[in-house]
Amino acid sequence: MSKQPFNSSEMMTIAASRALTSEDVCFVGIGAPSAACNVARLTHAPDITLIYESGTIGTAPDVLPLSIGDGELCDTALTTVSVPEMFRYWLQGGHITIGFLGAAQVDRFGNINTTVIGDYHKPKVRLPGGGGAPEIASCCGKIYITMAQSKRGMVDKIDFFTSFGHGEGGDHRQRLGIETKGPSLLITDLAIWHPDPETKEFVVTALHPGVTRDMVQDTCGWKVRFSDVVEETPPPTELELTTLRELKERTAAAHEERGR
């Protein structure tokens, strides 16, 4: 356990990083997923293979990328392949164990919206879109999702289906012929969630230090289910917290230098 104070965002990133192992081949989303995956690589999972959508394989960035086109990814990768090869052979070929995604909206079954808020034709907000996320959600062995909790982000019904999770729940994926496991873990700034084995609805299995059940419910747009046994997430260790903070400091310094 670290003696330094930590915030909820740091707890979320570190909790997410712990879900990864050196044996994983992980398709990494930009933002919070990228931070979690690289903390894992720099601490307990040094042999993890990180893959970004632009075709970089075995990437080991010293700073967090601004986008999938960031030169840091290609510079530090073991190899870079074309985007068609990345998707057709590596992703659709079943070579990737974990897809790590963020979301603008997510529902209780792990369906993700990163396209629009509101009506598609007259949206309140137009978001960056799916990119490769729809294929990642269908083709990776498992999907991990990380995001900060809010009622506008964790909603009863997403405004647009960008990336298919468990659909309506139950065996919906299987009925559509999708053979991968789909959303298997949701890590927020307040809690850790796993899908119910039968219904596939996300259930809270652990609360981060200092978090109450009411805090989770107050920032979620559906009626939250809690596991029969709800554990407390172990707080960050000194190594985890230092690694994350140093990574973010290097990133901020590098991006400031590029902007000059």
- Show which residues are catalytic: 53
Whole-angstrom distance between the N-terminal and C-terminal Cα of the chain?
A: 39
Run of H or E residues at 133: helix 133-139
Q: How far apart are CA 96 and CA 58, in angstroms?
A: 12
Q: What is the DSSP letter of 237?
A: P
Separation between Cα atoms, residue 179 and residue 152, nearest integer Å: 30
Please say whether the dihedral angle defined by the alpha carbons of residues 164, 91, 196 and 40, taken in this order, is positive or negative.
negative
> At residue 52, what are phi and psi to the nearest 5 degrees?
-110, 155
- Torsion angle (degrees, nearest 10) of CA 220, 223, 228, 231: 10
Phi, psi of 126 (to 5 degrees): -100, 120
* Tokens encoding 177: 């012929």
